[in-house]
């Protein structure tokens, strides 16, 4: 860590800063430059006192050198984490092909879609029972009834299931019925929820928040890991930008960026990122080419009657055609899609 | 609402779209333009079927005309809402001067700061007991002990108190000790939490999310209002942008923007928005000049020893000097600061 | 086009609006809704009077339906444009593999890099002679001497050459020595420069501005096309966002997004977008998988001695390895790389 | 400057890095930390070799300490620059009240508006003769005829005039007729244009680019200053963000932010920033409260007939009312408005 002092810092301020640094447990090395003084700190950048350094009088700014996450870091865990969800593995060359409707609407509806996507090559079924909706007047999901339907349909088609959990009070219930928790983008920094799923010991699909940096995403993963749950799968699903012709801006560079720093798997969700069925297939292909560990795609057999987010769903035929292309690409790249 | 069809939409597609629109309860008016067909819909833009329109084959996009919020809208509630918190009013010309440390650290520490800010002119005391921290290794707040201290110090100095609630399970506890809930930026779309404070019938300080539009903020307020709690105070605290010399970008245009559309009060938080004590006073003055109903400022008597966010706090002297300027500005603008 | 009136618009205001609309050459259809009045306009959304509609008293907003660009639009030009640059074609299934150093530094240096990239499979050589630099104290390029070197090296290796033009006064000079103009991101809306290259009748590589929407990019292309130059190749090179671990955020969804709306080719530049050699190969693969018509990559044999942007260049070996992967991917997708 | 080496950097890499640093003219101080090695560099952060450091093998990143601008910096020029434009001063407590229509349309039209704004208290007249328009089909300005009208009307009303210059070839012409150049947001990094106005020795109003950081803005000012022209006035006019209910997001924190780092005056342009007349007055008041050295406001007597950007103009009455409020605020804050 480097503490940079202001050009106009006085001798007593510099001395005080050195003293404070020592009190906080660091060994200071003072460097007197052409224009200003800096103090290099030997010690752990992640020690709790660090955040107070900025407020010492005469300090201009503090520059951290170590990454602020540990358990999520590849520095201390070189090999890829492979997350098991039922018999499907995610990471280390194994691709998750997660598909299903935005919301669970009925057994018959979900059953039909599951049949389609399973046949096309999906290996994990998704469907929301608790829906985070911008408007309080929009459909909020079927709740526990939806969870049961999801479980039954997953079992019928021999697919593990993933579904969103929105509130700490729902964690036990969701754990009862689903194989994997999804933490939505809006809850990426709902820290109590992260702690709760960290204690639940089921895999967690953690979506990047709409204004979260890659570092923020890894820090949120760190919350889950720090509670003892090692099964975190990250998901890039687009960030907010000024571009207004897509719902969000899919930041595919986050995929190799995460993979360089962390051993955790990361997939992409082009459905929520673009909100446009015409762009989803290209973005799914791009994600796998960028080394994503899978893709998350919404599929609905009648988007115009879907209770939630119909407009961004692929039709079963479109999904089957995309999966045919993805399989060829996976093969070219030496990746496996577990069934 | 306007449904715009694609240039290449076929006659059967247009007919199907008209049928669907009628099924969803709207009265369609078809307009055949020079290049394409549009359908104007007579009816309520906020009816539940609306979101399915985008997914009808042949539809290019749907353009809503009505605002998607109702209870928060000034269209149906012309006069300013005035939120009472103890004997302090917020809105309708009454300014909230909220001040205090980021986190409650001890009775003695908070007592001293409260004495300072009260004397300088603050009328509401703030202090966090549950702290949302990016890192799981950072100080997470004192919890219930912190709430009790906040209550005692508030009572001693005759100031109502506001504090953050992060999880639905904390709502009853926070309601027991505080006069006003704060919903932090990261939880602005934690919809279960919004519903819970909506049922609690204490004023709510709702902070804008870092990537929330003004419309999103008003939709989140709508969640609280829809549960029957009319006492929502909004807070602009900066959005994420590419500018990297400030923590966030304070969007002061949100203040007159909200006031034009909604009757709810809105204040500004220049401390979290800028993260820089050198910018806070100017931004607080600007906020009041922009017609904010108050400002929320962090104050600490020894920022370099604060357990959380010390670097962004004003010193007591700086706060007193700012308050002197704010009082003169408030007077010029005809605003009142309740004591 | 749809003119939406305010809820509180008076009868005289509505009548005045209808009159104005007629004066501006539109045929109005008035629709009286449940809550407000709208006027649908039959006529050309792109007629010059359109922008005045917003300012008519009583008007809340105006919603355009037609795209504001014409020559760039696929609506009136269905088949892909194929841009010829020497014997290399770009678009319609032909990929541009543009490579070279950021800046031309010397004949010997460029000659060596050109030899490497040509051998690896590049088909167009790039190198800057006029360099847009944030700082006036940074290396500004070799100017005309650089252009001559670029020409000579291109001829020696039988590769067409592309180089940036920054100022209207340089257009003739650049046209004399290069096969293709590059308009940099910072000049995407330098409209005089766009007009000037529009008159020059050489292909133009038009880079997306850092805060330009896809629509803005197409409007800038329209400036070139409107002067009579049909040879525009677009380039996605990242937009500015809050993410601070990459130089910019590469928006690959812009690629299928442009291709849906326009017949113009579009390539990607992962070097400038990410600024990080560790991310460039994955992003180049992703771009081609997303249907880009090529990639633009900076290559330098000694980045640590480059006079400009060394840190973002691939080494010749890294480039050769990437090209081997790109060739396999291109083959899988049925694309051709002209030599 | 601090060079941070990778954790896995080898001894030969570290030695090579030290050697390179010395070759580039720095004196290295090597610090071996708990986890990695860093090299502190004694010397000038702005020396030309600096940008190559990042590309040395084994280097993770380079952290600059000095600001990259010099002439614009307050570090070496403590007192506020006061820019004279005719008898009006800008900076050092003197406020510029710039007003006028977006574009010059006719002598009679401009004369009438100038009469209004002069009477209301404006001290500089603005009006565009060369207009940067997103669409090639929109009105592009009257050119030299517009410049002459602007000069004549300015003289008649005894107001200095400012107008935009878009291209290096227009600089001499604009210098002939106007008292101050305006560089628009889209040209903030048109470096040839900056150099040209830097040689012209007339004051320059430099608008912040839509995706420019405060540092970028100051670097562009540095281009003008480095050519010998000391009269630069900066202008905050909004940056691009995800918020879609305003044209741009006015970043008022840029005002005290610039003032802390630089001696140059800075004004705000709430007209272009918001694009909404209902928000302009509040934002103008906020800007002055934030210590801006003036405001730039578009005024038109018949916005619905304006040839450019009518919708964002204030009516003369609205402007007069705003000026009355601004004068009171200026008085409270001890500022002067030269006439």
**Tell me, what's the pLDDT at A40?**
83
Residues 10-39 of C with CB under 8 A from B: 29, 31, 33-36, 38
Residues of B in contact with D332 (CB under 8 A): 328-329, 332
Percent of chain B with pLDDT over 90: 72
A318 touches chain C (CB under 8 A): no
Q: Distances from the Cα of A6 to the Cαs of A12, A29, D69, D267, D318, in angstroms?
A: 13, 17, 16, 27, 45
**Tell me, what's the pLDDT at B191?**
96
Residues 165-194 of D with CB under 8 A from C: 166-169, 186-187, 189-193
Q: E strands along chain D, which residues?
A: 2-5, 27-32, 37-42, 59-63, 83-85, 88-90, 96-100, 124-126, 161-164, 180-183, 204-207, 232-236, 266-268, 294-298
Please choose, from the candidates A123, A126, A137, the residue with its C-alpha nearest in 3D space to the C-alpha of residue A103. Answer: A126
Give the minimum alpha-carbon distance from A2 to chain D in angstroms, rounded to a whole number: 8
Q: Least CB-CB distance to D192: which of C135, C166, C240?
A: C166
Task: Verify whether the Cβ–Cβ distance C304 to D166 is below 8 Å.
Answer: no
Give the minimum alpha-carbon distance from B65 to chain A in angstroms, rounded to a whole number: 16
DSSP β-ladder status, B37-42 and C59-63:
unpaired
The rounded distance, in Å, linking the Cα atoms of D100 and D299 is: 5
Task: Verify whether the Cβ–Cβ distance D169 to C169 is below 8 Å.
Answer: yes
Task: Verify whether the Cβ–Cβ distance D251 to B249 is below 8 Å.
Answer: yes
The rounded distance, in Å, linking the Cα atoms of C202 and A12 is: 65
| pLDDT per position as a tens digit, A257-285 | 999 999 999 999 999 999 999 999 999 99
| pLDDT per position as a tens digit, D165-215 | 999 999 999 999 999 999 999 999 999 999 999 999 899 999 999 999 999
Neighbouring CB atoms inside 10 A of D154's CB total 26
Give the alpha-carbon dihedral of A166, A168, A173, A175, to 10 degrees: 90
**Tell me, what's the pLDDT at C277?**
94
Rg of chain A taking only CA atoms, in angstroms:
23
pLDDT at A156 exceeding the cut of 90: yes
Percent of chain D with pLDDT over 90: 72
Helices (H) then strands (E): counts for chain D: 10, 14
The structure tokens 């539109």 sit at C26
The rounded distance, in Å, linking the Cα atoms of D3 and D33 is: 13
What is the H or E stretch that residue D327 is in?
helix D316-333
Report the residue of chain A nearest D76, measured CA to CA.
A7
| pLDDT per position as a tens digit, D258-309 | 999 999 999 999 999 999 999 999 999 999 999 999 999 999 988 878 777 7
Chain A touching partners, 3 or more CB pairs below 8 A = B, C, D
For an interface test with C, the pick among A64, A251, A252, A325 (most C C-beta atoms closer than 10 Å) comes out as A252
Task: Verify whether the Cβ–Cβ distance D313 to C137 is below 8 Å.
Answer: no
In this structure, what token pair is assigned to residue C64? 């355009």
The rounded distance, in Å, linking the Cα atoms of D270 and D322 is: 12
| pLDDT per position as a tens digit, C6-26 | 888 888 988 988 888 888 888
Task: Verify whether the Cβ–Cβ distance C190 to D186 is below 8 Å.
Answer: yes
| pLDDT per position as a tens digit, A122-144 | 999 999 999 998 889 888 899 99
β-strand partners of D73: D262
Please choose, from the candidates B124, B125, B178, B172, the residue with its C-alpha nearest in 3D space to the C-alpha of residue B148. Answer: B178
Report the residue of chain C nearest B2, measured CA to CA.
C2
Rg of chain D taking only CA atoms, in angstroms:
23
B255 touches chain D (CB under 8 A): yes
Average pLDDT, whole number, for chain C?
93
Q: Is D302 exposed, middle or buried (0-12, 13-18, 19+ CB in 10 A)?
A: middle
Task: Verify whether the Cβ–Cβ distance B251 to D243 is below 8 Å.
Answer: yes
Residues of A in contact with C287 (CB under 8 A): 286
For chain B, 339 residues long, the average pLDDT of each consecutive 10-residue run is 84 89 84 80 72 82 80 91 96 98 96 98 97 88 97 98 97 98 97 97 96 97 96 98 96 98 98 95 98 97 80 93 98 96
C328 touches chain A (CB under 8 A): yes
Q: Which domains does chain C have, with CATH numbers?
A: 2-63 (3.30.70.1140), 74-333 (3.20.20.70)
Count CA atoms within 13 Å of residue C17 on its CB side.
Answer: 29
Asked if D166 contacts D187 with a C-beta cutoff of 8 angstroms, the reply is yes
């Amino acid at each position: 860590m480097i503490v940079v002092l202001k050009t106009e810092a006085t001798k007593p301020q510099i001395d005080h800063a050195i003293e404070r640094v020592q009190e906080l447990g660091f060994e200071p090395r003072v460097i007197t430059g052409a224009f200003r003084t800096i103090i290099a700190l030997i010690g752990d950048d992640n020690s709790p006192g660090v955040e107070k350094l900025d407020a010492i009088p005469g300090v201009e700014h503090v520059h951290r050198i170590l990454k602020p996450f540990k358990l999520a870091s590849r520095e201390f865990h070189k090999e890829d984490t492979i997350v098991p969800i039922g018999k499907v593995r995610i990471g280390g060359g194994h691709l998750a092909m997660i598909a299903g409707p935005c919301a669970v609407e009925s057994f018959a509806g979900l059953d039909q879609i599951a049949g389609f996507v399973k046949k096309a090559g999906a290996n994990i079924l998704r469907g929301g029972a608790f829906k985070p909706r911008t408007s309080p007047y929009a459909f909020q999901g079927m709740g526990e009834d939806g969870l049961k339907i999801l479980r039954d349909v997953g079992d019928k088609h021999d697919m593990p299931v993933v579904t969103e959990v929105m509130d700490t009070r729902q964690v036990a219930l969701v754990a009862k019925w689903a194989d994997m928790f999804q933490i939505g983008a809006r809850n990426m920094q709902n820290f109590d929820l992260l702690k709760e799923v960290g204690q639940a010991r089921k895999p967690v699909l953690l979506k990047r928040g709409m204004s979260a940096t890659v570092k923020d995403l890894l820090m949120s993963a760190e919350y889950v890991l720090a509670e003892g749950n090692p099964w975190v799968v990250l998901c890039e699903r687009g960030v907010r930008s000024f571009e207004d012709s897509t719902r969000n801006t899919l930041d595919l560079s986050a995929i190799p960026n995460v993979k360089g720093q962390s051993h955790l798997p990361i997939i992409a969700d082009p459905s929520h990122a673009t909100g446009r069925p015409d762009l989803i297939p290209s973005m799914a292909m791009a994600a796998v080419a960028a080394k994503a560990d899978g893709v998350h795609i919404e599929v609905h057999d009648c988007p115009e009657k879907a209770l939630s987010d119909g407009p961004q769903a692929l039709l079963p035929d479109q999904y089957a055609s995309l999966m045919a292309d993805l399989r060829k690409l996976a093969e070219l790249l030496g990746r496996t899609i577990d069934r």
